[in-house]
Structure 1
Amino acid sequence: MLLTMIGRYCLDENPEISTAGYIDVLARIGVSAHATRLTVARMTERGLLERSRRGRAATFRASEVGLDVVRRQQDRTFHDTVDEPRPEGAWTILSFTLPETHRKERHLLRRRLAWESFGLLRDGVWLAPGERDVSAILSQLPGAGVDQHVEVFTAYPKFADVEGMISRTWHLGELAERYHRFLRTWNVARPAPEATDALGRDLVLVSAWRQLLRETPRLPAKHLPRDWPAARCHELFRTLHETYRGDADRIFAGILAEHRLS
């Protein structure tokens, strides 16, 4: 939720915000002050936030790492176009074996591959349809020499059972059910009952949609089940976000004016 907040409201100016400001935002979706403080501390430890002191008050702003993460999330959430993978029939295969000294990089690489719609074919071997440029993913990993442990290929399967390969990599039936759950949750008169206002509803909506995108492979249409529900969910997401956005922007501007230290 905090990454969603930063992406929606803090990318341009990246203001310093007091702990009370983060508490005020997450209180709108029922998160306690204690849980918010723990979350802010955890994000700071992971290098997503930077901590400063203004007298007795602690303030936080997104780090360069955090800004990079939310920029990519924003692009995928609001500006992504779903095209058929090219060239037809090609797959990108990425294989890595990172030693224990690169545990952090290994964890980050797995997360970023998943966000970029790669699927885990088997331990250390990731798969995505089409010819994919992974240089940006590798360049964002901390630590020197990580690329020496990674191999990337463009390949064409030499067997007929491509559907079997896909089913071993992605559980499309389970993913379809998550899309249908999204429809059941949000295509109702009063969605997100835990949210107290439009800001809370928009944060929950965008975060829920991003979670679905993280799990969604960009497979060619011919490899997707009939009546694949992603397009209906996308249209619902766009409609609801436009409904909430105006009021949400005004509410956050008020919170920022109250809790921002610049």
Structure 2
Amino acid sequence: MSAVLDDMDSRPGSTTSLLRTVIGLYLRDAGGWMSTRHIIALMEALGVSAAVTRTALSRLKKKEIVFPRQCQGVPGFAITDGAAAMLARGDRRIYNPRLMSSTDRWCLVSFSIPETEREKRHQLRRRLHWIGCGTVAAGLWICPDSLREEVEEILEDLELRGMATVFVTDAPLVGGSLRDAVSVWWDLDAVAELHRDFIRHHGSAADGGSSGNGPDGGSGDAHQLMGTSPEASAETFAGYVRCIDRWRIIPYLDPGLPAEFLPEDWPGMAGIALFERLGAAYSRPSADFVRRTLAS
């Protein structure tokens, strides 16, 4: 089983998660390889020491995200083929959040896995959850049909395709309203809180001001992105990386359901709009800082 698919386990804000975000954002643009010295320099801009960064690199090596490789005698790390595919898939999720319409089709995944394969059954449920599927019953999961390809990849990776049946259907017929059913199939409160947490931490940056005194005040990350004209500085880089790191799991867990199936105070669209504004303002100066660091 591929360890790459388990990469979403890293807690946003942790050293391993921040390093994974830096790799996803910048190592590919650097040609798929970066020296250990430069990786450490970028992590130091995030307030992470060299020793802690080396430990995180070892963890990502075990997770098959990177592997050590020398370039002209200089030690560094490159991305594995599996991680490159995972990161490309992540790009589509992160920068193009799903928005299902009421006329789009649904995908149902039915499976019956014997007790002898209970670990694979656990992994299947875990991974279906992490790509945004909902639970109709223990052996029946649901998601927008746009996720069917990822469902198929998971089934093949776990060698469970022969124990599962995938259905494509129009809107499911339920006893009550589909809105009520959706609220049971997905933990929408948890997804909504992820959006609200992102807005709390980064909303001030998009508005050009900050009222918090640090991360514990709810706007510390936003404070790092201050400035009417963002510059290619370590502060801009650090704030943008933390913004992406906090956001990147949300498009996975949020199924992007139609508005008529969601609570009236759903914060998803506000979260997406905020993320897009921050990206438009800070992605380029952050990338400029990385290029300057790599050229040093």
TM range (shorter): 0.7 to 0.9
Match of 1:147 in 2: 161
The SS at the match of 2:67 is: strand
Change (3 A) 1:170 1:198: same
Q: Is the 8 A contact 1:92 1:153 kept in 2?
A: yes
Distance in structure 2 (CA, Å) of the matches to 1:54 and 1:10: 14
The SS at the match of 1:120 is: strand
- After TM superposition, the structure 1 stretch with the greater mean CA deviation from structure 2, 158-167 or 176-185, is 158-167
Cα deviation, 1:72-94, whole Å, max 9, x if unaligned, reads: 1111121345241544xx53221
- After TM superposition, the structure 1 stretch with the greater mean CA deviation from structure 2, 114-123 or 181-190, is 114-123
Indicate whether 1:134 and 2:148 are aligned.
yes
Any residues of structure 2 matched to 1:172-211 within 5 Å, and which? Answer: 172-188=188-204, 189-190=209-210, 191-192=220-221, 193=223, 196-211=234-249
CA offset at residue 194 of structure 1? 7.0
Indicate whether 1:62 and 2:67 are aligned.
no
Count of aligned pairs: 254
Distance in structure 2 (CA, Å) of the matches to 1:34 and 1:108: 35
Indicate whether 1:23 and 2:40 are aligned.
yes
Identical aligned residues as a percent: 23
Which structure exhibits the higher relative contact order, with contacts defined as CA atoms closer than 8 Å and separated by 6 or more residues? 1
Change (3 A) 1:28 1:106: farther
Match of 2:282 in 1: 244
Change (3 A) 1:184 1:66: same
| Structure 2 unaligned residues grouped into runs of 5+ | 1-17, 211-219, 226-233
Q: Is the 8 A contact 1:115 1:213 kept in 2?
A: no
Distance in structure 1 (CA, Å) of the matches to 2:90 and 2:252: 10
Cα deviation, 1:188-234, whole Å, max 9, x if unaligned, reads: 22451578511111111112111222221221211111132212222
Measured on the aligned residues, the alpha-carbon RMSD in Å equals 3.2
Q: Is the 8 A contact 1:6 1:70 kept in 2?
A: no
Indicate whether 1:222 and 2:260 are aligned.
yes
Cα deviation, 1:218-252, whole Å, max 9, x if unaligned, reads: 21211111132212222211112222122211111
Indicate whether 1:92 and 2:107 are aligned.
yes
Distance in structure 2 (CA, Å) of the matches to 1:252 and 1:98: 50
CA offset at residue 168 of structure 1? 2.4
Partner amino acid, structure 1, of 2:95:
F
